[in-house]
Amino acid sequence: MHKAEKRTTMKPPSPEPRYRMGATILASRIAESGVSDKGNGAWAQTIRSAAAKGQRPNCLCTFPNPPMYLCRFDDRYVIKRMPGTGFLHAAGCLHYQPRPKPLFNAHPTPSAPSRGTNETGNLKLTFDLSKRPPRCLVPATSSLTDPTTARLSTLPGLSLIALLQLLWQSADLHHWHPAFEGKRHWWTVRNRLHDAAARFRVKAQPLLDRLYIPEAFSHAQKQAIASRQKAFLQPFRAQRQVGRELIVMIAEIKDITPARYGFRLFCKHAPQLAVFINQNLLNRLKRHHASAFALHQAHPHTHLMMIATAGITLQDAVCIEQCALMLVTQHWLPCASEPEVRLLEGLVQQGRLFVKKLDSDCRDRQTPTVLLTDTRPPTALFITETALNPARRQALADTAHQSGFAWRTFSPVETIWPELPPLEPGHDTG
């Protein structure tokens, strides 16, 4: 396969970063699983002391050591990458993110500010967050609006699916490192999304004020979880059908069954939550996301993620107004086609380090599916619908060269896919 440029002989960094907090060296697992703020160990005491003093850790993946920050969620401290510094990390580091370039930036997204400051990112959305009375001069149906579509093409801003992917990216859930194996459960996914959402505001209000993401279900905590859920929904209960505020909900769909009026959605980790969708909206959802439904049925271990705006009835029923879906693998990596599922599963099984590209509102054929970060230089992997003609091959080569990446292509029509680029010599992913 062709490459954009020769690989360098630079010594690869440690793929599992450690952190320096003053004179103390901390292990990499803190970034994914965190440390309890009630622990008595040396690490817990060091982190509590650093948090109280406002000290920041540094990642030891390369020199100079990129800055990090401490984030507290519930009763745990985790170490996070400072927003906008992903490219400062070594390519093999789990915090690495390529510098935004045309090759890996299909649409503009707001930069995520740090939780450690008072700065927040303001989002502009293409969908409504309140149920408004209809205007007399506006037709009841419009060719511009479909509640299930990814975007209103005539309006600037983020669609539902673009918002979900922005949060997914801000939470670093599109990154994969072998160290994540067995650690990425719903508790981790939910906490990372929650932490990412805390950095954004919508119409001068914190996004978290109206964002509902089900807590990880526990029989022992069933009543406490239900109480917190009820308290969150209470301010949104509708006293009337119009002029009411809507929530934004992110959840995994477990099942869709007929109800007395319309259909009921059962969400994982929220079995007690009554979520309803009408027939017309469900039909549009199935048409627009037919491939996601088909892939989910063919691959039972995948997760069908939903983002929706919804109103709350006086009976605490959640009634969906607009909805979009995103399929993710069993490791919570977004996927949109059968070849992508195969490629991602193969990369995980082989213990590779990579970043999955997110593509919400456009299908740019010049952007890669995956960026391998355990090669020098990083390797862009393209999935092509058909065999490449010379012009297409040259276009991909030019695009990759401009970004400083090597590149490979994978075609679903090929019976045997090409071998993946080898790991950088000495790069241990174990």
**How far apart are alpha carbons 365 and 396 in whole angstroms?**
9
Q: Look at residue 39 and tell me if it is in a domain.
A: yes
Q: Which of 59, 88, 117 is the last residue of a domain?
A: 88
Do 367 and 283 lie in one domain? The reply is: no
Q: Look at residue 4 and tell me if it is in a domain.
A: yes
**How far apart are alpha carbons 224 and 272 in whole angstroms?**
13
Do 211 and 347 lie in one domain? The reply is: no
User: Which residue in 369, 352, 360 sits closest to 421, CA to CA?
Assistant: 352
Do 195 and 53 lie in one domain? The reply is: no
Do 343 and 406 lie in one domain? The reply is: yes
What predicted TM-score, i.e. pTM, was given to this entire model? 0.72
Quote the pLDDT of residue 99.
63
Do 129 and 236 lie in one domain? The reply is: yes
Do 242 and 304 lie in one domain? The reply is: yes
Do 301 and 378 lie in one domain? The reply is: no
Do 7 and 23 lie in one domain? The reply is: no
**How far apart are alpha carbons 310 and 248 in whole angstroms?**
7
Do 249 and 133 lie in one domain? The reply is: yes
Q: Look at residue 192 and tell me if it is in a domain.
A: yes
Domain assignment of residue 52, given as a range: 19-88
Do 153 and 253 lie in one domain? The reply is: yes
Q: Which of 263, 296, 328 is the last residue of a domain?
A: 328
**How far apart are alpha carbons 55 and 22 in whole angstroms?**
8
Quote the pLDDT of residue 224.
95
Q: Look at residue 101 and tell me if it is in a domain.
A: no
Q: Which residues of the chain have pLDDT under 70?
A: 1-17, 28-41, 43, 73-74, 83-84, 99-120, 132-156, 239-242, 360-366, 385-405, 407, 413-416, 425-430
Q: Look at residue 100 and tell me if it is in a domain.
A: no
**How far apart are alpha carbons 183 and 32 in whole angstroms?**
7
Phi, psi of 177 (to 5 degrees): -140, 140
Do 308 and 213 lie in one domain? The reply is: yes
Do 295 and 348 lie in one domain? The reply is: no
Query: pLDDT digit string (tens) for 343-367?
Result: 999 999 999 999 998 875 445 556 7
Q: Look at residue 338 and tell me if it is in a domain.
A: yes
* Domain count within the chain: 3
Quote the pLDDT of residue 52.
81
Q: Which of 328, 349, 373 is the last residue of a domain?
A: 328
Helical pair 279-288 and 290-298, crossing angle rounded to 10 deg: 80
Q: Look at residue 98 and tell me if it is in a domain.
A: no
Q: Look at residue 35 and tell me if it is in a domain.
A: yes
Three-state SS across the chain?
CCCCCCCCCCCCCCCCCCEEECCEEECCHHHHCCEECCCCCHHHHHHHHHHHHCCCCEECCCCCCCEEEEEEECCEEEEEECCCCHHHCCCCCCCCCCCCCHHHCCCCCCCCCCCCCCCCEEECECCCCEECCCCCCCCCCCCCCCCCCCCCCCCCCECHHHHHHHHHHHCCCCEECHHHCCCCCHHHHHHHHHHHHCCEEECCEEHHHCEECCCCCCHHHHHHHHHHHHHHHHHHECCCCCCEECEEEEEEEEEEEECCCCEEEEECCEEEEEEEECHHHHHHHHHHCHHHHHHHHHCCCCEEEEEEEEEECCCCCEEEEEEEEEEECCCCCECCCHHHHHHHHHHHHCCCCEEECCCCCCCCCCCCCEEECCCCCCEEEEECCCCCCHHHHHHHHHHHHHHCCEEEEECCCCCCCCCCCCCCCCCCCC
* Residue 394, domain CATH: 3.40.1350
Quote the pLDDT of residue 357.
87
C-alpha angle 104-68-48 in degrees, rounded to nearest 5: 145
